[in-house]
Structure 1
Amino acid sequence: MKYFAVFLPMADREKSERFRPQHLAFLEKMRNAGHVRANGKFADGSGGLVIYNALSFEECEAYVKQDPYIQNGARKYDIHEWEAVWAD
């Protein structure tokens, strides 16, 4: 399993507010399925970050494209494979 850091920069603030409940429900579903390790918004309001577990970049991107924020144009996305080092 690989980790991917997915940056979700703001594309449309109004759509981000409107689709936030659906976005958060999607992330909870993905966490429960073991596909999301962590997520959160940036304090400056510029967007957020999601850490996905996936076998490949393509699998991660397929997950990201299911996010209501992406489907509705509220956010853009930028995916980076991340070689994480976790504290014990």
Structure 2
Amino acid sequence: MRRYLVMAMRRPTFDEGVVAPHLAFLDELRASGHLEMTGGFSDKTGGAYVLVNVDSLEQARAIAARDPLATQGTSDLTVYEWNTR
């Protein structure tokens, strides 16, 4: 199974108001079978989530681009195809 790691790093202008819409977005991904796991970094600089059941890196990037963290410009999101064992 292909997995895609989405790294979200907070910008200095991060707005806490985006957290609730981001969590709702993650809930939608989980309900659709595309989210395997998610979590924030203990130092509060950002977090990551793992997408599954996605056809390509391009599709994973398109999904991440819909994340409120990205659409509201509060975080930088980077997507990687992640080879796990």
TM-score scaled by length of structure 2: 0.91
Q: How does 1:2-21 map to 2 (within 5 A)?
A: 2-15=2-15, 17-21=16-20
In 2 relative to 1, CA 38–13 (structure 1 residues): closer, same or farther, beyond 3 Å? farther
- Matched-pair identity in %: 29
In 2 relative to 1, CA 71–10 (structure 1 residues): closer, same or farther, beyond 3 Å? same
Q: CA offsets per residue over residues 12-61 of structure 1, 9 Å max, x none?
A: 4542x111000000001101101111111000011000101111011001
- CA distance in 1: counterparts of 2:8 and 2:30, whole angstroms: 17
Moved over 6 A (4+): none
Question: What is the number of residues matched between the two proteins?
Answer: 84
Offset at residue 78 of structure 1 (A) = 1.3
Report the AA paired with residue 50 of structure 1: Y
In 2 relative to 1, CA 83–69 (structure 1 residues): closer, same or farther, beyond 3 Å? same
5+ unaligned residues in a row in structure 2: which ranges?
A: none
Q: Does 1:76 align with 2:76?
A: yes
Per the alignment, in what secondary structure is the counterpart of residue 49 of structure 2? strand
5+ unaligned residues in a row in structure 1: which ranges?
A: none
Q: How does 1:43-62 map to 2 (within 5 A)?
A: 43-53=42-52, 54-62=54-62
- Cα RMSD over matched residues? 1.2
